[in-house]
Amino acid sequence: MSIDLEVRTVSKRFGRFTAVHDVSLQVPKGSFFSILGPSGCGKTTLMRMIAGFEQPSAGDILINGASVLATPPNRRPVNMVFQHLALFPMMTVAGNVGYGLRRRGLPREDIARKVDAVLARVGLATAGPKRIDQLSGGQKQRVAIARCMVLEPTVLLLDEPLGALDLKLREHMKVELKQLQHQFGTTFVYITHDQSEALVMSDQVAVMNGGRFEQVGTPQDLYYRPSSAFVAGFVGDSQRWMATVTAADAGRLRVRTDSGLTIAATAAEGASIAVGARVEIFVRPEAIVLEPGGSPARSAEDGVNQFDGSVDSLLFNGAASRTLVTVAAAAAPGQRDTLAVALPAGLPTGGLAPGEAVRLRFPADRAIAFAAPSGAAPSGAAPSSAASETAS
């Protein structure tokens, strides 16, 4: 598979501040590549370097196998959909879409034909003579994409283009963007701080933090096999504990959380964790199975965690409904933990009521342990962090 865009060990320093640190990536032709990270992680700087608005301090950027560092932005085979779209308000829709073609000096009839064709492809066939301020948010989005796609770029860069839209439209545009990418077959590089956008749309996602790539992989890789505590925490929701290792046997760990629970966990791939080490434990809400409290206790088989608790509250949100379950630690009376558990889709919410006794089970290989950064304050029982991430 040919590589459309390659970034080789690129760094960018502003004075003494390093915004992008030794980043490398390869984007195969026709794929949807996302760069996911919190604001200020350097993802916008990286994208501006690919577009040509910033020069890297070190490293190289190749498009179609040729370095573009000496190419100014108006000659790179790369176009960008800006964060606030940057449509020209002084032109009509057709004027916006035809801008790049006019710059290339195409004959007027060719421009009109291509503009009509691309507008039809994004479903705005009759919008050509409209003014930009007559369009809705989603239509503006499509005009911004059409304005770039009409130039047939090798790579289309998208800088958080959904950020300004309301939630409902954002959900809709996620699907639409993915469809447009399929339809045009162009390589998309998409930057976002919204993990769900990245997971839904991408073939490959790079998680960026503090100017470095934490992990590059498929959405499934990031979700099920995160390679760092940052990725595990940033991608998807997680139940998170700070804990100390009490027993370790070839990656199979037994840990004691700061809140007093004893959990069987699995060390993350490539991590070597010794007894006594401080670790962070991540469990996905849907990995936890909820059973009625009265059911006969199964034999505590090895590798399955089992806790008795009671329902604290029900957070109904359709398919993404959660139950908060309070678990009392047997070893530390008075300490309690609140876990967010995904409600199984089949289970009617009416089956549970606050105060009801339930039993939680999750396998050890779904509880992933990462070495805690040294000096980090023990976060103790931190169910609130999981809850707040759901809200964002």
Partner 1 sequence: MSAPASIPVDPRRDGRRLALLLVATPFVLWILLIVVIPHVDLLLISLHEKVAPRVFKTGIRNYVEFFGEPVYVQALVRTVAMSLLATALTLVIAFPVAYYIAKLARGRARTALFMACLLPFWVSELVRVFGWMMILRETGLLSNLLIWAGITAGPVEFLYNDVVVMIGLVYTSLLFMVVPLISALDSLDDSLIEAGYDLGGNAVSILREVVVPHAMPGIVAGSIVVFMLTLGNYLTPTLLGGKSSQWFTAQIYTQFITRFNWEVGSAFGFVLLATSSLIVWIGLRLTGQSLSSTLGR
Among 147, 204, 152, 196, CA closest to 175 = 196
Q: Based on CB atoms, which residue is closest to partner 1, 87 or 372?
A: 87
Q: Do 291 and 334 meet the contact criterion of CB atoms below 8 Å apart?
A: no
User: At closest approach, how far in Å is the CB of 140 from partner 1?
Assistant: 13
302, two tokens: 């090895």
User: At closest approach, how far in Å is the CB of 173 from partner 1?
Assistant: 19
User: At closest approach, how far in Å is the CB of 80 from partner 1?
Assistant: 5
- Name residue, tokens 């991590």: 271
User: At closest approach, how far in Å is the CB of 104 from partner 1?
Assistant: 6
Main-chain phi, psi angles of 255, to 5 degrees: -125, 160
Residues in the site for partner 1, rule: CB under 8 A? Answer: 51-53, 72-75, 78-80, 82-84, 86-91, 99-100, 103-104, 147-148, 151
Q: Based on CB atoms, which residue is closest to partner 1, 23 or 155?
A: 155
Dump the DSSP string for 29-70: TT-EEEEE--TTSSHHHHHHHHHTSS--SEEEEEETTEE-TT
Q: Do 117 and 152 meet the contact criterion of CB atoms below 8 Å apart?
A: no
Strand order in the sheet with 212-217: 78-81, 155-159, 187-192, 32-36, 204-209, 212-217
User: At closest approach, how far in Å is the CB of 167 from partner 1?
Assistant: 24
Instruction: Specify the amino acid at residue 56.
Output: P
Q: Do 365 and 339 meet the contact criterion of CB atoms below 8 Å apart?
A: no
Q: Based on CB atoms, which residue is closest to partner 1, 86 or 275?
A: 86
Q: Based on CB atoms, which residue is closest to partner 1, 19 or 132?
A: 132
Task: List, in order, residues 6 or more apart from 10 with CB less than 8 Å away.
Answer: 20, 22, 23, 24, 46, 49, 56, 58, 59, 60, 61
Among 290, 268, 230, CA closest to 368 = 268
Q: Based on CB atoms, which residue is closest to partner 1, 87 or 235?
A: 87
Q: Based on CB atoms, which residue is closest to partner 1, 54 or 258?
A: 54
User: At closest approach, how far in Å is the CB of 111 from partner 1?
Assistant: 13
- Name the pairing type of β-strands 58-63 and 32-36: unpaired
User: At closest approach, how far in Å is the CB of 12 from partner 1?
Assistant: 17
Q: Based on CB atoms, which residue is closest to partner 1, 51 or 273?
A: 51
User: At closest approach, how far in Å is the CB of 88 from partner 1?
Assistant: 6
H helices of the chain, in order, are 43-51, 93-103, 108-121, 137-149, 167-184, 195-201, 219-224, 229-234, 383-391
Q: Based on CB atoms, which residue is closest to partner 1, 78 or 264?
A: 78
